Structure 1
Amino acid sequence: MELQQMRYVVAVAETANFTRAAERCRVVQSALSHQIARLERELGARLFDRTSRRVRLTPAGEAFLPAARQALDAAERARAEVAAASGELRGRLAIGAIPTVTAVDLPNALKSFHVRHPQVRITLRVGSSDELAEQVRQGALDIAFLGLPPSVQPKGVQGRALARGELVAVVAPGHPLADMAGVDLHRLAKEVFVDFPAGTAARAQSDEAFAAAGVSREVAFEITNADLMARLVRLGLGIAMMPAAFAPELRDVQAVELSDPPTRVEHLIWSRLRPSPAAAAFLGVLDIREDQLPEGQRPHDRSALEG
């Protein structure tokens, strides 16, 4: 079993297409298909179901994929550790963030890190808190910025709370609520809402507050993109709930302060395992120093390698 075969499996799983996977891996499709077939023979199981319309993982493939990713990450981590021991920081830094992160200036933090460590490959993935937390647990992401209701704590990861803030209602200019202050949730519940999808942490922040107030509301539009939410609000199709610190970044909408606002807590999380050299360096950019990490997670704590 070779690392290159694992890379091909991961590429096919992520693109759901052999042609696109080959393009990503910069090989001809026949070579990629041959290596995956060879791996399947070695494992004694098919990893993919192939039809003319789609490619999807078999149960065996679903079981193999996380281990393959871990093996690839471990190999890259090993190279990065050797480079770090020689005083050179390189490797990968995979970061996840919710679209409404405000506790840090993430673009400037990324720029600062890139200037200091140009050999590190930085990737950024935007998604929901639940998805990002799971990807950190699986090792697909090194670090993630989440926004959670106060009642929820990230599980299976290390991290810290960065900031706590209130939500505001976001309405179109000229909306009857636009010039009001101290609006309560009972009044808001009369409006049609644009919100994040049900079941996500971003949606739970508002849902829990309305439930605690004893009122229900209509969410007609479930959106994952904050800019698209703002566009629908501007067109008068509904109102939205947004973090007060993020609302000023939205154009041509009016933020309305609430008398009983929902709140959210922004968290920074990383793996329970020792951070990679690149991840530890990025935590340093955020003023989370090595000596502030738990024992066994500090980059120069040899017990983490020996234990």
Structure 2
Amino acid sequence: MDKFARNLDWNLLYTFMVIVQEEGIVTAAERLLVTQPAVSLALKRLEETVGIRLIDRGSGKLAMTPAGEALYPEACRLYAAISRLPVTFNKAPQSVSGKISISTLSQVISSDFDTTLSNFFKNHPKVELSISVKTVVEIVRELELGQITLGLCSGIIPDILTKRWLLKEEFGLFCGKPHSLFGKSNLTLDDLREEPFVGFIADILGGKHMSDVTALRAKASIGQFVRGRSCNVSELRRMIEIGLGIGFLPLHLAAPYVQSGSLWRLPPYDEVPNDDIYLIYNPAINFSPAERIFLAQLFETNL
């Protein structure tokens, strides 16, 4: 085991991690800014080092072997620990300072979360805050790699991450004023099947993070032709408003636009799809004092 640890090249492990995340040699090479043969060679060298195949190359799409599935979360933990080593160099500042980095889905609204943010930064004025809008896949990846403090997202959350339920968003299907269905009542799901669709980037039929919205699309055969995508609710609403297609929006965010007459509610009206939003962090990384205090307040636990 000691010999294995000394011979293991971290760069090979990092390359393997990127291959899994990008789901391919070509896309991994683009992200790493190296050639495709270099990535293939790195994977081959890693497999020779560990003595077992990690990725099955036999099918059209790369798939991890059981050994690869066991190695991947460990590689993420190692990366998170290494990338955040500088945090450990300054464990006892005179006053709490530093940076809180949050990645969230677009326009997640929670008064409880906002209150916690307000109270924390009132008590710790030297701490900086960064909030970015990302997709579910991007948020989960950043958490696994220890690149952010906290994520607010839905979807399938890996077991290596800690989550707490925050809220439930209910969704409705809408069209804009220029659309041929605007103002029409007594519509059914059958009336919507041939309509162009606009949706969230993560809303992919058969995708990894299929939600209730995606499940309803699949069941009702809605949105077979996707005309536009965005991870930003405002941009998605814009595409619906100008008539590019029908699409799902959170009911509470769409309500003012329905009232103003720029959006029209379409079926289903009952049993609407919903999405659970979670607060998520990676317990395996080294937190700064500011991050530790912030997460402890959010999750009401000792970190």
> Scaled by the length of structure 1, what TM-score is found?
0.61
Match of 2:293 in 1: 281
Cα drift, residue 157 of structure 1:
0.2
The separation in 1 between residues aligned to 2:186 and 2:107, in whole angstroms, is 23
Q: 2:188 touches 2:267 (CA, 8 Å); kept in 1?
A: no
Q: Determine which of 119, 137, 144 is the counterpart of 2:126.
A: 119
- Distance 1:195-1:204 versus aligned 2 partners, 3 A rule: same
Q: Determine which of 266, 274, 285 is the counterpart of 1:263.
A: 274
- Distance 1:103-1:178 versus aligned 2 partners, 3 A rule: farther
Q: 2:77 touches 2:284 (CA, 8 Å); kept in 1?
A: no
Match of 1:91 in 2: 98
- SS at the partner of 2:100? strand
Q: Which has the higher contact order (CA 8 A, sep 6+)?
A: 2
The separation in 2 between residues aligned to 1:155 and 1:239, in whole angstroms, is 35
Q: 1:181 touches 1:257 (CA, 8 Å); kept in 2?
A: no
Q: 2:163 touches 2:280 (CA, 8 Å); kept in 1?
A: yes
Cα drift, residue 193 of structure 1:
0.9
Identity, in percent, stands at 19
Match of 2:240 in 1: 233
2:66 equivalent to 1:56: no
> Scaled by the length of structure 2, what TM-score is found?
0.62
- SS at the partner of 1:245? helix
Cα drift, residue 215 of structure 1:
5.6
Match of 1:155 in 2: 159
Give 5+ residue unaligned stretches, structure 2: 1-28, 47-74
Q: Determine which of 199, 203, 207 is the counterpart of 2:214.
A: 207
- SS at the partner of 2:276? strand
The separation in 1 between residues aligned to 2:209 and 2:252, in whole angstroms, is 15
The separation in 2 between residues aligned to 1:269 and 1:128, in whole angstroms, is 14
- Distance 1:71-1:202 versus aligned 2 partners, 3 A rule: closer
Match of 2:175 in 1: 171
Give 5+ residue unaligned stretches, structure 1: 1-48, 291-297, 300-307
Alignment of 1:180-195 (within 5 A): 184-195=188-199
Cα drift, residue 175 of structure 1:
4.4
The separation in 2 between residues aligned to 1:56 and 1:249, in whole angstroms, is 45
Q: 1:247 touches 1:255 (CA, 8 Å); kept in 2?
A: no
Cα drift, residue 113 of structure 1:
3.0
Cα drift, residue 135 of structure 1:
0.9
